[in-house]
Amino acid sequence: MNTAKTRNTRRVLAGINFTGLDRIYQQLDSELGMILTFHHVHPHPIPKFAPNAHLTVHPQFLETVIRLLLRRKIDIISLDEACMRIESDEPPGRRFAVFTFDDGYQDTLVHAVPILKKYDLPYTVYLAPGLIEGTADLWWEAIERVVRQQDRLMIQIPGMGMGPTELDCSNLLQKADTFQFLLDYLTNEVSEEDQRQVVRELCWIYKIDVDALMKSEIMNWQQVESLRADPNCTIGAHTLKHRALARLDLAEARDEVISGAAVLEAQTGQRPQHFAYPYGYRKAAGHRDFELLASLGFKTAVTTRGGMIFPSHREHLSALPRISVNGLYQKLRYFSPFISGLPTRLSTGMRRLDVS
């Protein structure tokens, strides 16, 4: 579903690309490179109602991105090497790009890794053991399925009067509103602890098998082993149960990070050196969490806040921004401006660092 906002953004990006503003801007700025974020990579058709469509790109588009970066003479490197370049006192040479894949979807292994292997490129996959072992849920995908399949939902929402609230899902616009309402409710009104139960109840009532969804979407430990055996792959940590750290108290947040990394170490034999904040936006990971991650000895921690990597990020290695390879903008003319850094600079009011 293309909203007016998506259509406008596409127009702006295509305009930047057409005029060449991005390439002029790039010559003036001093960024070192970028860390790209991917979630799903698969060729399956996207349904009409697909509020998570921004999280999916076609394998061909992944290859298009690789070719664009190589054409622009951007080095595609590992997170370890990026870290060395950020910390280096040498004058920056060629710009770099790092490929990161969140959550450990099976399609990373099936569709993305073969393309990365074809070009012999390094990449990072961030894993949350709770998603692998079924103690956490892909709740945003489960909710999408509930809303897609139903014409209306009845849900008991505390503070919204007596009895259940009826949510209209009778057409695409109503479905989008209801999905957004549930997303806001589950990420703002319900605690991280209770979120799972609310989602599970809703899925039970409307016959969405969350466990089957998880098994079909997320890698098992055997598949993780094949990642571990790939010298081009860095396995990064993503908490134990994919919880938004900023919504936990400090002791809980610390435990989420430490336990998640410990399980990964026990399974792979290697302690993860890199971390991605689940969700990664401002309300999900804040300054306290950046300090926590820095204190726990990880080399880097990445958010989902948009931005390029500058030399000054050496002071903020636990709050690195990324560039999302967004499923809504899968055309070269939309994506190409992003590798100049101009769109993210425009959206952050021309600030380079966003570490608050």
Smallest separation (angstroms) from Zn ion to the CB of 102 = 4
Regarding 137 and contact with Zn ion (CB under 5 A), the answer is no
Contacts with Zn ion by CB under 5 A: the residue count is 3
* Residue 22 binding Zn ion, by CB under 5 A: no
Classified as helix, coil or strand, 216 is: helix
* Cα 203 off chain centre by: 24
Q: Which residue stretch of 207-215, 273-281, 297-305, 321-329 sits at the interface with Zn ion (rule: CB under 5 A)?
A: 273-281
Q: For residue 260, give every residue at least 6 positions away whose Cβ sits within 8 Å of its Cβ, in sequence order, or none.
A: 128, 129, 130, 237, 238, 239, 240, 241
CB of 304 to Zn ion, least distance (A): 9
Q: Which stretch binds Zn ion (CB under 5 A): 116-124, 153-161, 271-279, 328-336?
A: 271-279
* Smaller CB separation from Zn ion, 139 or 338: 139
Give the H or E element holding residue 306: strand 300-306
With CB under 5 A as the contact rule, the residue among 102, 107, 137, 144 that binds Zn ion is 102
Nearer to Zn ion, 140 or 221 (CB): 140
Is the distance from CB of 103 to CB of 40 less than 8 angstroms?
no
Q: How many helices (H) and strands (E) does the chain have?
A: 16, 12
Query: Which range, of 67-75, 197-205, 278-286, 346-354, touches Zn ion by CB under 5 A?
Result: 278-286
Nearest-angstrom CA–CA distance, 46 and 135: 27
Toward Zn ion, which CB reaches closer, 102 or 289?
A: 102
Of residues 123 and 334, the one with the C-beta less far from Zn ion: 123
Segments in the chain forming alpha helices (H)? 4-19, 21-28, 59-71, 79-87, 106-107, 113-118, 129-133, 139-149, 172-184, 192-205, 210-217, 221-228, 250-268, 287-295, 332-335, 342-347
Token pair 């990006």: residue = 13
**256 is a contact residue toward Zn ion (CB under 5 A):** no
Stretch that binds Zn ion, among 115-123, 149-157, 260-268, 274-282 (CB under 5 A): 274-282
State the DSSP H helix or E strand holding residue 302, giving kind and residue range, or none if neither.
Answer: strand 300-306
Considering the complex, state which of residue 103 and residue 256 has its C-beta at the smaller distance from Zn ion: 103
Q: Which residues bind Zn ion (CB under 5 A)?
A: 102-103, 278
